Amino acid sequence: MERPNEMKKIKIAVIALLASILIAPLAFAAQETAPLFPDIPPGALGGLGYKTLKCDLHMHTVFSDGDVWPTVRVDEAVREGLDAVAIADHIEYQPHKEDVPTNFNRSFEIAAEPAGKKGILLIKGAEITRDTPPGHFNAIFLDDVKPLDTNDLPDAVKAANDQNAFIFWNHPGWKPDKKGWFDIHTTLYQNKWLHGIEVANGEDYYADAHKWCLEKNLTMLGNSDIHAPSLITETTPDNHRTMTLVFAKEKTPEALKEALAEGRTAVWCKNQLIGKEDFLDAIFKASVKVGDIQRKGRRTFNLQIVNNCALNIELQRLGDIGPAELLLPAMGTAVVQARLAKGAKRLELSYIAQNLLIAPENGLPVKLTALVQQAQQNKPARRA
């Protein structure tokens, strides 16, 4: 009676082995897919090159008003291809405290080990929570959240600064009837206690915040502020959480903090990138390349334009050459017909990238250039 069972076990083992051999290359291939946004090559921003880190620096767990255990946030981050996350539970608002006792540092402690094992940078944070105005502020890179638990807002923000934290103003347009830059914001800013602002939170973009960041040289952030479990199984151009792209010298907490302090960020919210011109220009140039050029007539050419990032880039013509509107599909290639000016040796297409916002309602000006000597002549087929 034992024999058939043994045979069955062997058969199962062989099937399992075969399955693992068949599945292994697929799993490997999945890890090898292109990143959603390329790194910035050396020289592009006057530096030695930067890693483009995908970060969500504002999320909640059951230790404040979130619906999930801290480790869930780590698993979501892995699934969605994030590099760094900060759990920033509210200090002053803990509706689950009868079941989950107040312990300001605990959500970080619980998530730290799985985050380390899974390659996610986990940053300790907290949300300082006040009525609007002044509103809510995240302090991240904290050593200990406890000293921030104090009545006076400037005291709490100072306590965070005493720990060398990075502090940003959350969802400044959350309550449209009470939004605005108030004296308290000036106080924090003048003390150098405020380092950034969320220009996007979830699906909302705040044009005012974008303007303030440009005027006051504050760092732009975009975060999910997620409370419920994330239902995203894979980050795609059409389905992704709002995140901050941080251009860091390496993938370490120290390099992330340095990049945030220097303002090297861009925000990916829906099908938009929001940021300062230099950074959007760098990410555009790292992502978009003119590929093959084919001569179609004496002065007419077909250009392949490759877009290596997760944004469907919407271009509107500025110059005389090329179609009036042009879509560069995310992770795809567009073919464009363009006509060379008389006597010119190089094609130069001038456009505005309308969904790379360098200021409210202002797209990034871009140029696509190609030398035409390298073009292949398309010889007509010879008649029989």
Task: Give the footprint of Zn ion on this chain (CB under 5 A).
Answer: 127, 225
Find the shortest distance in angstroms from Cβ 131 to Zn ion.
14
Residue with smaller CB distance to Zn ion, 63 or 247: 63
| Strand ranges, E, within the chain | 51-59, 84-87, 121-129, 136-140, 166-169, 196-201, 204-205, 219-223, 243-248, 265-269, 272-275, 288-295, 300-307, 313-317, 325-328, 332-339, 346-359, 362-371, 376-377
Find the shortest distance in angstroms from Cβ 199 to Zn ion.
15
Residue with smaller CB distance to Zn ion, 145 or 338: 145
Residue with smaller CB distance to Zn ion, 52 or 61: 61
Residue with smaller CB distance to Zn ion, 166 or 284: 166
Find the shortest distance in angstroms from Cβ 143 to Zn ion.
21
Find the shortest distance in angstroms from Cβ 352 to Zn ion.
34
Distances (CA, A) of 11 to 2, 21, 142: 14, 15, 55
Are the beta carbons of 328 and 315 closer than 8 angstroms? yes
Find the shortest distance in angstroms from Cβ 4 to Zn ion.
60
Find the shortest distance in angstroms from Cβ 58 to Zn ion.
6
Residue with smaller CB distance to Zn ion, 105 or 312: 105
Find the shortest distance in angstroms from Cβ 139 to Zn ion.
12
- Say if strands 121-129 and 136-140 run parallel, antiparallel, or are unpaired: antiparallel
- Residue 146: CB atoms within 10 A of its CB come to 14
Find the shortest distance in angstroms from Cβ 127 to Zn ion.
5
Query: What CA–CA distance (Å, rounded) separates 155 from 140?
Result: 16
SS (HEC) of 16-62: HHHHHHHHHHHHHHHHCCCCCCCCECCCCCCCCCEEEEEEEEEECCC
Residue with smaller CB distance to Zn ion, 92 or 258: 92
184: which 2 tokens?
A: 């308290």
Residue with smaller CB distance to Zn ion, 69 or 174: 174
Q: Is the Cα dihedral 52, 54, 56, 62 positive or negative?
A: negative
Cα 109–111–115 angle (5° rounding)?
Answer: 125
Find the shortest distance in angstroms from Cβ 90 to Zn ion.
7
Question: Which residue is nearest to Zn ion, using beta carbons?
Answer: 225
| Residue 331 burial (10 A CB sphere; 0-12, 13-18, 19+) | middle
Query: What CA–CA distance (Å, rounded) separates 303 from 322?
Result: 10
Residue with smaller CB distance to Zn ion, 127 or 281: 127
381: which 2 tokens?
A: 């087929």
Query: What CA–CA distance (Å, rounded) separates 242 from 245?
Result: 10
Residue with smaller CB distance to Zn ion, 225 or 314: 225
